Amino acid sequence: MNLIQEYNYLSDAEEAAKNLEQEGIIVHISSKHAHSLSSAVTGSLRVGLWVVLPNQYSDAVSLLGNKNNIVTSGLFAEEIAEFKKRAKNHSFNTLAKYSSCALISIVTFFVGICYLSTLNNGI
């Protein structure tokens, strides 16, 4: 991912993202949730607009600078939907994997504590 621009207002970043996505450019807005909570709490004063696919960076920058720019690296709506679906599935699978590992570690820890406790009670 490449940072395209930072914004003080989330609404400005969302508007730019909408314009880019309409032209087939896949983007991500960083610090979106932290910014909405309050910059005093999270320290996030700005949100970043990122292009996800490196080959779309120059088109994204050009399009933001000139709305009449012709995008050559844009994807079709179906391709964007498939990309987002795969990214969401990947995120879920990664979360499930680490959650499973954490659960197994916690269970193993408590079984070990119980075992040690029975050893100490038998002495």
Strand partners, 47: 7
CA distance 110 to 117: 10
pLDDT in tens, 77-103: 888 888 888 877 766 667 778 888 888
pLDDT band for position 33 (50/70/90)? Answer: confident
Q: Give CA–CA dist 50/17, Å, rounded.
A: 9
Instruction: Report the predicted TM-score, pTM, of the whole model to 2 decimal places.
Output: 0.65
pLDDT value at position 43? 57
Element (H, E) at 79: helix 77-121
Straight-line distance from the first to the last Cα atom of the chain, in angstroms, rounded to the nearest whole number: 60
pLDDT of residue 46: 86
Position 111 pLDDT exceeds 70: yes
pLDDT at 123 over 60: no
pLDDT at 47 over 60: yes
Chain-centre distance of CA 56, in angstroms? Answer: 18
Residue 54 in tokens: 């490196």
For residue 98, what pLDDT is reported? Answer: 83
pLDDT tens string 6-24: 998 899 999 999 999 999 9
